[in-house]
Structure 1
Amino acid sequence: MEWTKVTSAQELADAFGSGNLAVEVVGSLRGMPSLTLPPGASLRGGSLAFGAKGLRLTSNNTVQDTTITTAPHEVAIHNDTTVTALGTLSLANVTTTGQVFLAADGQVRSGRIEADGVHVTAADTRGRFDRPAGFGVEALQGAFTVWNRQPDPAVRLTARLERISAGSAGEPVHGGGVFVGGHGDTAGKADGGTVDVELLSTGDVFSNGGIAPGTPDLISGGVFVISGANVAEVRNLGTTTTYGQNDMVLDNWGVVTAWNAHGAVTSWGPSGIGFVNFGAIGTLTVDGPVETFGLGARGFNVYDGTLREAVFDSITTHGDGSVGVQVSRELPRLTIRANLRTEGGTGESLVKGVLLPLSAIALSIKPGGRIGTVSVGGDVRTEGAGVPAMELEGGLGSITVGGSVIAAGVPSGVVHAVPELAGVVAGLTVEGR
């Protein structure tokens, strides 16, 4: 392929306008009007600064080794929705200021997205009108979003998304971080077009939804798999950190065969959850620590859907109302290699769109929930006044704790369990105040 080199915005427009399909930008181009790549065109190199919307892709486009800059609330890269087939849209080694938004909408019926090494330095998606809904809430779009919005189940996108990152510790993106989804109904269940993803891997993701305190019906996610997404593997290679109210760190409404988080999972805001599942997951493995700091910010929740096995390194919560592990559905196996620990007392937490008072119990199995086997390598410990270490109102097949079960703020009743579980918990080493 022979590349046409350009050094100005006018040369760039002229190059594509005259039929060149491989254009290389040399240097920095500023004052750019929105640019549409023709079908089959490729763009590489340099940096492009736009005043409003940035680069629009059509079909079979490649963008590589370039920086696209616009205002954080604008889209830096998006796609034409008047075409019926996207072909393959490829992004490689691309940095943006502004959202990356690739969607099946309008006339789009098919397409493939390949992205490798995409970093969104800044974005603000809080003002987007379109949001998926489910489980009593709406969810903010991500700084990097791939979304099949078509209600027709015959419309299918495929994708391989590698090394996607967003924000920084000093400047998290506003809204969600990484968002991949298909079409869902208002209950959060898939009911239309899908996106099938071979691999979704992320680097460091830092996000702050900027949601007003006390809001019960709006959330965001650091890495969010939405209903209608079918992912063979999610692989979080870096840290994932959220800072705001109702900011989930890792959240699943879709279908994931294997979710592997290798970096730390951290929530700083109220009602933020380390990992929450409403969809279907085969195996979940979190090798980094899960830690939350806000009021009502729980560690791990299984509220709906299915999950065969969950393995964690450790789970620690610091705020009032911040339950360590809460299970409301069947979970065959739960392993925590080190400690499960909470420090808080009672406080408000967002539960399916409703703010409810919760105590920071370390292990909670709700009525209707059941865990087949629980294995904790270290301690199960609570620090809050009057907070038991375990509240077992559902089913439990067996439990082993390598250390002790400790409720530092409770003189007795360290483990609250329904009578039929008395034999299951009888062998635990229990310590009260």
Structure 2
Amino acid sequence: MDLAQLEQMVTWLDQQRRRADQDLRQLEQQLTHQAGVIEEQSRRIQQLEGELASARAQLAEYNALQQALDNIRKEVRASIERIEEERLARERDQERLRAAEREKWGRDIAELRKMLERIHPLEEAIESRKVEERRLNEAILQLRELIPPIDRRVEDVTRTVTLLKEQRSQDHRRIGQLQGETVELFRRLEALAGKLPLLEEKIQRQEKIIQSVQELAESLKQSEQTFLEEVRQAELGRQQTMALWEKSFERMEAQLAEALGKLEAFQLQYDKAAQAVADIERWQTELRRDVHEIREAQRLAEEHVRRQVREFEEEMEKRWKKVQLEWNYKWEEQTRQLESLKQLLETLQQQLGVHVQLLDILWRLQEEWGSQQLAEAQRLLQLIEETASKWNRASKELSR
């Protein structure tokens, strides 16, 4: 192998070394880029882990929110149950109070009915008494209408008494008889008005019985006095009876007023109870409306939370799928790049082994060539020195 071939080989080896250095720099750049990609992927993984931790924290917050909603739901349910129990207890108490009031009112009404039952006979007796009083008043009026004519007749008769004194003894006997007939005459007093004209005709026709007429007049006067006394006594008794009845009526009116007061109180209590029932029903309606609004708000809140959670889960699932696709693509790309780098490294390692072998050969050739060159140079130097020494000796000899 001559020097030119060695120089060409060295040049080629130097080119191969430069190309290998360039390939190594490219590999280092690719490794640096791959390290940057791996670092970026690590940051992305850390970011995704942070997002996953945030998602887990949000999920924990959602669980806490769900727990809080459950607690609120339980508290609302417990409050509703407690309010319902209180309402039922109040209803039971009010029902007991109403039952007691109904029982009391029943007793009062029974007493009022008993009083009314006692009042009905009294009313009937009062009506019958009023009828009797009207009849008596009518009889009194009729008697009062009969008394003036009788008085006039008696006065006429008394003027003739002086003429009939001789018949006084007979009159006394007749008076005794008439006293026995007084009761019958009293009962027949109402018919006397129609009989008096007949008596007058009889008196006019029969002057023989003037003494009997005088006796009749005395008897009538006594009967009148007796009748007036009886009427006075009857009036007094009637007044006393009316006073008693008035007292009874006053007591009955007082009892009736008390009963009416109780009825008014009962009506007032009934109105209050009805108002209380209306208030309770209105309160129940408001409570039902509030409970319905709370349940509706709770349902809307739960639906909103579920919708947010569902949207969050869908978003996280989409992002996770996207991240998984990106990761899979990047891992596949990185795997392909690593495979290509691995193949390139294997190729470079193979080329490097060849280059090392070539460099070793070149180094040995260079050493051999250098040794040969050094030996040739030494030999040439020795030859030159010998030639110079010979030249010097020849020059010295020529100069002599």
Question: Computing the radius of gyration over CA atoms, which structure comes out larger, 1 or 2?
Answer: 2
Q: Comparing both structures, which one devotes a greater share of its residues to strand? A: 1
Structure with higher RCO (Cα < 8 A, 6+ apart): 2
- TM-score class, shorter-chain normalisation, is under 0.3
Higher helix residue share: 2
User: Under a length normalisation based on structure 1, what TM-score does the superposition of the two structures give?
Assistant: 0.13
